[in-house]
Structure 1
Amino acid sequence: MTVSVTNHLNFRGNARSALEFYQSVFGGDITIVTYKDAHSIQAPSEAEQVMWGQVAAENGFRVMAYDVPSRTPWEQGENAFFVSVRGDSSAEITALWEKLSAGATIAQPLAPSGWAPLYGMLKDRFGTTWVLDVATEYKAS
């Protein structure tokens, strides 16, 4: 079993530009899934915004990002990132979720999603937001 931790940066409408910039600095492959791609459009003006994006380089650099939907409160510098934990198995992620969720506020219950066998989001008792999911292979865009 393998678990990896990645910074997951949050933006309002400019996640694509940020990911492209980070790719120009660190190299690697960029993957972008829009709200439209994921069939998760809440506001038509946000259809082409990044629901999930990543830059992954062979030198070990990795960063994830997304555009916070307009229906969700967000201000630059506040809740600027999540900690993303990805694992190879549902059992592994479920075990970590059960421990992290003690005293936490659950934002998205751990459950199957349109992009991962399991996905969940919580704010732990110390105020850190975590997203946990089972890794799925994505093709770079």
Structure 2
Amino acid sequence: MFNVLVQPYLFFDGCCEEALEFYRSSLDAQVDLLLRYRDSPEPPPVGALPPGFENKIMHATFRIGTTTLMASDSHGENIGFGGFSLALTVLTEVEADRIFAALADGGQVQQPLAKTFWSPRFGILTDRFGISWMINVTADLSQ
């Protein structure tokens, strides 16, 4: 077996900075690195970026709890988040309620927070940026 680290990389359609601020305010995310296209040591070829895109995010890393995610603005790719959810596990029902409400603001709830056989609170939603989240309460965060 070899050591490997899997980290989600999220591409936003020109709204990465807005998404990072949203996650900072709703999930207490910490932005560790933010690099704009204009800051690249190797500028993209002329015409490679849409006009005004030099101020968009070329690469960012941010942490939610102990998990590091990466993100950037896309420039022309077809963006669509499908086939996965980010699972967020918290220790208390109060924290689950707060986070679920924050992420649902401007988003769409697929399954409201409710008691399940494995958790006192579990719910699924898609936030305003199209990211699917599963919120789960457990007394043991190692699960």
Q: Which category of TM-score, normalised to the shorter sequence, fits these structures?
A: 0.3 to 0.5
Q: Which has the larger radius of gyration?
A: 2
Question: Which TM-score applies when normalising by structure 1?
Answer: 0.42
Question: Which TM-score applies when normalising by structure 2?
Answer: 0.41
